[in-house]
């Protein structure tokens, strides 16, 4: 049984200019104790997919489809029902640790309130447990630092605080929404190590959202590639790297700069991401795709297994033709 | 913090000095004096009176003498108009009245403005929001000198519920209309400021974090949203206080409440120099004190600000 099963998830936003479809028919599943990476460029619907799961969409957002967590439907639950899941079973850490912690509250208060609310602990006990969680994410001198305000921490430390805060109730699933994007490279590596340590130590499943393929490579079991709000390809991370079968994934891989390559100009994928205002017709990647055929702009390709174990791709063009 | 307060008080002294000098010269620059009247006094009599009050001396000397009296003896001098009373006595009579309805106006402006703005923000784009925004715009375009006569027309002349003026020791029925007239536009501004800052806070990333933590909506509002939303309101309190003081002039004239505004206006008409100076210094000091309190309050709410 999968821990999480997402089926035909659709997210739309009502704006003054019309309806924006951010996520279209996204389906995937996640096994317990695994790390799933969701990659894609900005605006591909990665974050909105997980926000929809946790009921964190903006007020003008609307999600349809199905999200099952431990066999329970959790999409569009009431706030009070969601609050039994948020933090207790599914926790999330956000992209920008600078703004995601409340600047007007001490770290101790922000962490303790999670335990006070969910576990009914006293304030003293809650702070004690918070301190040991800060120790666990390797914040030095947690006993004293917990009394500080977020702005007194560095960016990497703040992200550690966020991670510690999300782990307080030992959730089964941790969603990390671009946890390292706002951090510098050395700190990025530390945070990624921390996340994989957590996965090993607590057995937490992780959904790792990123647009950094380097982060994906060493830190995930499976990879889901998104484009224009749709799933392009899902496979084990090894397979995705060894033999990407989708033109978009191939484009992404070849766009990663390599140290052993002396090319003067970096490789890119020509063109721009699609306008989410327009109704999705056909494959969203087709206008930028080298292999595009007539059918690509009229029919949306289905996500089909390629024959190899659990390797799914959504493309009209046969894999052989891409080689 | 302590150093900061000392520094602010240090800055207050030159500020007050500039206030005294400018006011003193402006006052004397206006034509006429306290003893000019329609029927001119004989020149010798006028000269005697002016000599008694020191008005025959150059303005700078008068100013220094006056300031010396204020600093050393806390003596704001005699009134030129009410010969039997000193300025200190006039302030002692008028200030408590102004303070009482000013205090209540402040309470009403904050106590109604903040909840109104908060409800509008939480229920954005619903009829409650439109109603609150409508009320606050309406209240803001009605200045107190229009509001006050309107209140008298409605509540005194038409309905006969409230007395149209007077003070009577500050009984509530004498307090209601001055407080409404004085507080309404500040209430409206505070509501508007609260609404927009709260909308901003509600969209902040850390509120999304709070929601992701699974906290109940009420907890999120009172622990995470409320305090940061008040920061712009706190910065507005300083100017609002000054506005309330100047507004009291209108209130005193229309409702005959007998507060400091009444004495201030009369003093200006009569060139009652000492009364004008006394009230100016008092109001100036209060303004400085109040903006200091507002700044300290700001630092208390926002941990990023440390003095």
- How far, in whole angstroms, is CA B7 from its chain's centroid? 24
Q: Tell me: the pLDDT tens digits for B147-162?
A: 899 999 999 889 988 8
Mutate to test the interface with B, among A85, A88, A100, A114 (most CBs of B within 10 A): A100
pLDDT at position A42: 84
- pTM of structure: 0.84
| Nearest CB partner across the interface for A100, out of B206, B215, B228 | B206
Determine contact: B126 vs chain A, CB below 8 A: no
| ipTM of the modeled complex | 0.89
pLDDT at position B307: 67
pLDDT at position B5: 83
pLDDT at position B27: 87
User: What is the rounded CA–CA span in Å between residue A284 and residue A41?
Assistant: 13
Which letter does DSSP use for residue B157 in this model? Answer: I
pLDDT at position B182: 92
Judge whether A11 and A22 are in contact, CB under 8 Å: yes
Radius of gyration of chain B (CA): 24
Positions in chain A whose pLDDT score sits under 70: 1, 308
Q: How many residues does chain B have?
A: 307
Cα A188-A190-A194 angle, rounded to 5 deg:
115
| Nearest CB partner across the interface for A113, out of B215, B228, B304 | B215
pLDDT at position B192: 94
3-state secondary structure B125-138: CCHHHHHHHHHHHH
pLDDT at position A205: 94
Q: Tell me: the pLDDT tens digits for A75-86?
A: 989 999 999 999
Positions in chain B whose pLDDT score sits under 50: none
Cβ-based contacts of A99 with chain B (< 8 Å): 204-206
Q: Tell me: the pLDDT tens digits for A167-186?
A: 999 999 999 998 888 788 88
Q: How many CB atoms lie within 10 A of CB B48?
A: 12
Q: Tell me: the pLDDT tens digits for A246-279?
A: 999 988 888 887 777 777 777 788 877 777 777 7
pLDDT at position A308: 67
């Amino acid at each position: 049984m999968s821990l999480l099963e997402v089926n035909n998830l659709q997210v739309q936003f009502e704006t003054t200019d019309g309806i924006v479809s951010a996520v279209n028919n996204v389906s995937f599943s996640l096994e317990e104790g695994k790390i799933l990476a969701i990659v894609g460029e900005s605006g591909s619907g990665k974050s909105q997919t997980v926000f929809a799961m946790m009921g964190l969409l903006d007020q003008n957002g609307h999600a349809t489809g199905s999200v099952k967590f431990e066999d329970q439907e959790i999409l569009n639950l009431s706030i009070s029902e969601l609050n039994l899941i948020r933090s207790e079973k599914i926790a999330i850490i956000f992209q920008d640790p600078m703004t995601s912690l409340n600047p007007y509250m001490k770290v101790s208060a922000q962490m303790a309130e999670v335990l006070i609310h969910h576990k009914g602990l006293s304030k003293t006990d809650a702070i004690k447990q918070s301190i040991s969680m800060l120790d666990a994410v390797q914040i030095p001198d947690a006993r004293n630092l917990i009394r500080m305000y977020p702005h007194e921490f560095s960016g990497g430390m703040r992200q550690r605080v966020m991670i510690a805060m999300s782990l307080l109730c030992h959730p089964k699933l941790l969603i990390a929404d671009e946890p390292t994007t706002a951090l510098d490279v050395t700190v990025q590596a530390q945070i990624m190590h921390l996340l994989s340590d957590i996965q090993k130590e607590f057995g937490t499943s992780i959904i790792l959202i990123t647009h950094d393929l380097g982060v994906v490579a060493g830190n995930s079991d499976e990879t889901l590639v998104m484009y224009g709000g749709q799933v392009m390809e899902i496979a084990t991370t090894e397979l995705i790297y060894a033999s990407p079968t989708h033109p978009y994934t191939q484009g992404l891989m070849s766009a990663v700069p390599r140290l052993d390559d002396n090319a003067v100009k970096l490789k890119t994928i020509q063109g721009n991401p699609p306008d989410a205002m327009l109704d999705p017709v056909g494959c969203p990647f087709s206008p930028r795709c080298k292999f595009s055929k007539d059918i690509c702009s009229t029919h949306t390709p289905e996500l089909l297994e390629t024959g190899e174990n659990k390797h799914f791709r959504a493309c009209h063009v046969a894999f052989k033709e891409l080689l | 913090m302590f150093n900061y307060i000392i520094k602010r008080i240090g800055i207050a002294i030159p500020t007050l000095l500039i206030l005294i000098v400018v006011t003193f010269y402006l006052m004397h620059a206006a034509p006429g004096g306290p003893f000019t009247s329609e029927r001119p006094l004989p020149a010798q009599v006028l000269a005697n009176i002016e000599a008694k009050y020191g008005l025959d001396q150059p303005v700078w000397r008068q100013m220094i003498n006056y300031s010396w009296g204020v600093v050393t003896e806390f003596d704001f001098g005699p009134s030129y108009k009410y010969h039997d009373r000193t300025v200190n006595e006039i302030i002692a009579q008028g200030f408590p009245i102004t303070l009482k309805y000013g205090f209540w106006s402040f309470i009403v402006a904050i106590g109604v403005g903040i909840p109104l703005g908060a409800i509008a923000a939480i229920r954005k784009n619903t009829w409650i929001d439109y109603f609150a925004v409508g009320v606050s715009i309406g209240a803001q375009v009605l200045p107190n000198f229009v509001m006050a006569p309107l209140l008298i027309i409605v509540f005194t002349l038409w309905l006969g519920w409230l007395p149209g003026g007077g003070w009577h020791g500050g009984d509530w029925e004498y307090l209601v209309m001055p407080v409404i007239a004085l507080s309404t536009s500040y209430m409206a501004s505070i509501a508007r400021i609260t609404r927009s800052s709260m909308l901003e806070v509600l969209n902040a990333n850390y509120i999304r974090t709070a929601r992701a933590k699974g906290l109940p909506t009420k907890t999120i509002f009172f622990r995470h949203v409320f305090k940061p939303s008040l920061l712009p309101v706190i910065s507005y309190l300083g100017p609002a206080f000054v506005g309330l003081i100047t507004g009291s002039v209108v209130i005193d004239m229309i409702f005959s409440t007998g507060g400091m505004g009444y004495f201030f206006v009369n003093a200006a008409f009569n060139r009652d120099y000492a009364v004008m100076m006394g009230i100016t210094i008092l109001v100036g000091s209060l303004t400085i004190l109040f903006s200091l309190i507002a700044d300290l309050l700001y630092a208390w709410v926002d941990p990023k600000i440390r003095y």
